[in-house]
Structure 1
Amino acid sequence: MIQQFFILCSGADRDVLDTCSRGEKNKYAGIGATVFFTAILAAIAASYALYTIFDNAYRAILFGILWGFVIFNLDRFIVSTLKKRDNWWKEFGMAIPRLILAVIIAIVISKPLELKIFEKEIDRVMLSQKNDYTVQNQGEILAAYTPEINKLDAEITGLKTEIATKETEVNNLYEIYIAEAEGTAGTELLGKGPVYQEKRDKHDAALEELTALKAANADKIAFAEAEKTRLRDEFNTAVSTSQPIINNFDGLMARIDAMKELPWLPSLFIFLLFLAIETAPIFSKLISPMGEYDIKLADHEATIKAWSAQKAAQRKTLTETDHILNDRIYTDIANEEELYNYKKKMAKEIMKRQQDAFYRRQTKILG
């Protein structure tokens, strides 16, 4: 039962193979088993690859099984259409397109399984990439806010500098009128005279200006600080909004790119393994001599071809003979006087009826 199933998978003609030896049956059962298990691996690989895309196990398994059937049908077609003949180079030329297709199938099957086998290593590479993307993303967002923040910082620094400058001026005026009162500078007269009062009034006016400047600049500084806080909040919001995109950057293409960072030799061996599995039935047919099944199948096809050619020749002969007979028959009939007179009579009758019909129609039109 199992052997019959694998023979069915090989695409061999069971009617011909049933007349062959047990060794031939085992040979094609082995080829069918290779085709079947390749399809199983393809279904598993596709299920994993689609799970990374859809993140839904049921949907991934459904499409994985469908993909397995597609690979099974392709492999079965490749193997069944490769027939043994006496010319090895001709067989190899016929096998080249099938080998190219087998290589493509091997790549498609092996890549998702490589992703699963090296999953932990790929996760480590992707974590490093995500960290780099996070730093780069924050830097790009910060670059958008930095000019405006720097402008606010410069404005705050300018306002504070203006206050400090005014404070220095007030302090100098204070020292001047104190020195005038003490007689250590200015007129050098001890006491609070007119000059002292003048310098004191100048200091008091500057002090009032300083008080007003501090109040005005404090409001401006508070507004600038509030703007900086708003910009920082916008920056944090932009970072927190874009971070989930980076965290979810683990799709199929991202994993394939991450796998390129790993050593290439293990990946190559896995690909070669699946390539060997995929091309094994083709090469086994190419390198093996013509077996009993191949000889009988070729004989069966040659018999059908000869029978078909014979039927075509018979149809051609019958058609040519029929044409010759028809020519002779109609030639003999054309020379018979009786047929001539009868056809002449009928022609006259038809012409009379046509004339009568024309006359009736013209009379009806003229009223």
Structure 2
Amino acid sequence: MIKNFFWMCSGADTNILKNSSKAEQTKFVGIGATVFFTAVMAFIAASYALYTVFDSYVAAIFFGFIWGLLIFNLDRFIVSTIKKNDNKWKEILQVTPRIILAIIIATVISKPLELKIFEKEINQVLLTQKNELTLANKNQIATQFTPEIEKIQTEIKQLKQEIETQELKTNALYNTYISEAEGTAGTKLLGKGPVYKEKREKHDAALAELEQLKIDNKAKILNKETQLSQLAALQKQQETTTQPIIDGFDGLMARINALNKLPWLPSFFIFLLFLAIETSPIFAKLIAPKSEYDYKLQDIENAVKMWVTQKENQRKNVVATDHTLNQAIYNELADEEEIYNYKKQKAREILQFQADAFYKSQKNIVN
């Protein structure tokens, strides 16, 4: 049963193989097994690749199975259409487009398996890229909020500076009226005279302005600090919202790009492996000499070709003979007087009928 299954996979005529030698049967079992297991590898590769896209085992297995069937059908078609003949150059020319197709199939099959084999290395590359994207994302979001934050921080600094300036002014007035009272400056008269009272009043007025300024500016500073907190929270919210997009940056295209950043030699060897598997049935049939199966298949095809050619020639001869017979029959009938008189009578009746019809139509017009 397994032997018949692999014969079917090879695309060979099982009726011919059943009557062939054991060596011939074994050869086509090997070709069929290669085609089958290539399709299995294609199924595994496609399922893994599609899982990275759909993130669903059911969808990945279903579409991977469809892809495996497609590759199986293509490989079986490629192998079954290679015919052995006596001219090697014709054989090479015959298999050239099939080899090109096999290279394309090998590339498509090997790439998802490379992604799985080098998964750890790819994850490391993706992690580095994600970290870079995270920093770039934070910097990009920060550029949206930085101007407003710096503006508010400048305004807070200005409000604090106003308080410090007023404090310095008030302290200077305090030192002035104290010095006046001590007699160390101003009028240099010891005691609390009129000048002292005037300077004391200026200080008290400046002190009242300072207290009011502190109340007003602290309220403004508190409001602006609230704005800063809101902006910081909004910035953090945007970073949190966009981070899942960066964390999900591990799709099929991202992994392929990450794979391309790794050394190319290991991937190239894997590709060569699958290329060898994919093209091995083709080269096996190309290199192998014309065998028992090829002769029997050629004999069947030649018999069918000769039969079709004979039928076509027979049809042509039948048509030519029928044409000759018809021509002779009609020529002989043309010489018979009975046929001549009969056709003459019918022609006379037609002319009379046309004349009567014309007369009636003209009579109706006149009336």
TM-score, normalised relative to structure 2: 0.94
2:169 and 2:104 map into 1 onto residues whose CA distance is 84
1:110 and 1:130 map into 2 onto residues whose CA distance is 26
Partner of 1:217: 217
Residues 212-243 of structure 1, C-alpha deviation per residue, up to 9 Å, x if partnerless?
22222112211211111111111111011111
Residues 262-298 of structure 1, C-alpha deviation per residue, up to 9 Å, x if partnerless?
3322222221111111100000011111111112222
2:176 and 2:7 map into 1 onto residues whose CA distance is 115
1:2 and 1:144 map into 2 onto residues whose CA distance is 68
Please identify, of 125-134 and 138-147, the stretch whose mean Cα deviation from structure 2 is larger.
Answer: 125-134
State whether structure 2 residue 285 is matched by structure 1 residue 285: yes
1:160 maps to amino acid: K
Question: Where does 1:320-359 land on structure 2 (aligned, <5 Å)?
Answer: 320-357=320-357
Aligned residues: 367
1:335 maps to amino acid: D
Residues 59-110 of structure 1, C-alpha deviation per residue, up to 9 Å, x if partnerless?
2111111111111100000000111111111111111111111111111111
1:50 and 1:9 map into 2 onto residues whose CA distance is 26
1:259 and 1:265 map into 2 onto residues whose CA distance is 12
Q: Post-superposition, which runs of at least 4 consecutive aligned residues in structure 1 deviate over 6 A? A: 361-367
Q: CA deviation at 1:193?
A: 2.1
Partner of 2:174: 174
Change (3 A) 1:141 1:313: same
Partner of 1:104: 104
1:64 maps to amino acid: G
2:14 and 2:358 map into 1 onto residues whose CA distance is 74
Q: CA deviation at 1:18?
A: 2.9
1:273 and 1:140 map into 2 onto residues whose CA distance is 45
2:168 and 2:92 map into 1 onto residues whose CA distance is 98
Please identify, of 81-90 and 121-130, the stretch whose mean Cα deviation from structure 2 is larger.
Answer: 121-130
**Identity across matched positions, percent:** 60
1:364 and 1:198 map into 2 onto residues whose CA distance is 142
Change (3 A) 1:51 1:362: farther
1:265 and 1:9 map into 2 onto residues whose CA distance is 33
Residues 7-44 of structure 1, C-alpha deviation per residue, up to 9 Å, x if partnerless?
11101122333332221111111101110111111111
Please identify, of 98-107 and 196-205, the stretch whose mean Cα deviation from structure 2 is larger.
Answer: 196-205
Q: CA deviation at 1:358?
A: 5.4
2:115 aligned counterpart, secondary structure? helix
1:22 and 1:365 map into 2 onto residues whose CA distance is 96
1:362 and 1:188 map into 2 onto residues whose CA distance is 154
TM-align CA RMSD: 1.9
Residues 194-218 of structure 1, C-alpha deviation per residue, up to 9 Å, x if partnerless?
2222222222222222222222211
1:235 and 1:254 map into 2 onto residues whose CA distance is 27
1:287 maps to amino acid: I
Partner of 2:31: 31
Question: Where does 1:84-123 land on structure 2 (aligned, <5 Å)?
Answer: 84-123=84-123
1:366 and 1:242 map into 2 onto residues whose CA distance is 98
Partner of 1:19: 19
